[in-house]
Amino acid sequence: MLKKLGTTVGGYSIGVPEAGLYQLGSLSNVIDAEVIGDVREAGVLQDFFQSFKPEIAVHFAAQPLVLDSYIYPEETFTTNVVGTLNFLRQVSDSDSCRLALVITTDKVYKPKNTEVPHIESDQLGGDDPYSASKAMADLLSQSWANLESGKKILIARAGNVIGAFDSSKNRLIPDINRAIRSAKPIEIRNPLSVRPWQHVLDCLGGYLSFISHASVGSVPRILNFGPNHNDFHTVQEVVEIAKAMFPELEIMGPSKIYDKENSFLALDSSAANQTLGWKNLIGFEESVRMSLGMPNVDPVEIAKRQIEDYLSKNSDLELVSR
């Protein structure tokens, strides 16, 4: 999407998933500069910033899996907190970088016992190591932004982003896709849990709109990006769409109780709607359908087609920086 918008793109990552779009589609040929490195390695990250000289930097790096955070709490906290600190330090030290966007998550919010979507001013907190570490990274970014007078530092909170090329474990859509390919049953942990499902293109469109507006004017420092209020759905509804598409898909109940996860999690994105004119352009059912299955064609062609279709609906989307 960035290349479609005419930007020069640099990437820094600890690695790439074997079954992800980057690997499947040999996307290294569209990246202008790339470094394999750990975000916790301040020196390597510094070298990349100094050599690539970004004008805009977006921080996605994380240990992003809730269940893994129980198994690897130290890695989760050091990656999500120390890694964010290293990123912010490089943004501040960079002569070229004028704007940074830190991506956190919908799970930064302290759980509340009501079915009311979170707004940006809600209290942060987390019961599991992942949520707690991302809340810490969010607070760190807010604090750093208060100290940084020469750069714009923004924070985006989005959650349950789905797409066809996510290969992470213990996530619903990738688990369903693996079950479809392997003809093995899938275990559904919490079928009645409500989540703010949204397609990755809508989420990225929001991030790019945030950056573009911030480049030329005043915007809130923190924004939620999630589906419309009438588009909150349960895990079970995702599974039902999958069953309709793939009747052979076999569903199993949970082998144990997963009571650490919140049953209702939703975002109020009114601020992004009002200040950016942004909203989701891909509805819930279409988002799920676009994310399921892996047609026997070039995955890059699928991604390009989906991006072109999305940009045709969102013709105002552009980046000020080229």
Helix (H) or strand (E) holding 45: helix 42-52
Torsion-angle region of 216 (φ positive above 0: left; ψ -120 to 50: alpha; else: beta): alpha
Which residues are registered as beta bridge partners of 233?
Answer: 195
Instruction: List the CATH number of the domain containing 145.
Output: 3.40.50.720
* Residue 160: inside a domain: yes
* Domain limits for position 70: 10-313
Q: How many CB atoms lie within 10 A of CB 152?
A: 19
* Residue 3: inside a domain: no
What is the model's pLDDT at position 213? 95
* Residue 192: inside a domain: yes
* Residue 247: inside a domain: yes
pLDDT along the chain (322 residues), means of 10: 90 79 69 93 97 97 93 98 98 97 96 89 94 98 94 94 87 92 89 91 96 94 91 92 95 67 86 95 94 74 88 74 40
Q: How many domains does the chain have?
A: 1
Given a contact cutoff of 8 angstroms between Cβ atoms, the answer to whether 168 and 17 are in contact is yes
* Residue 163: inside a domain: yes
* Residue 322: inside a domain: no
* Residue 319: inside a domain: no
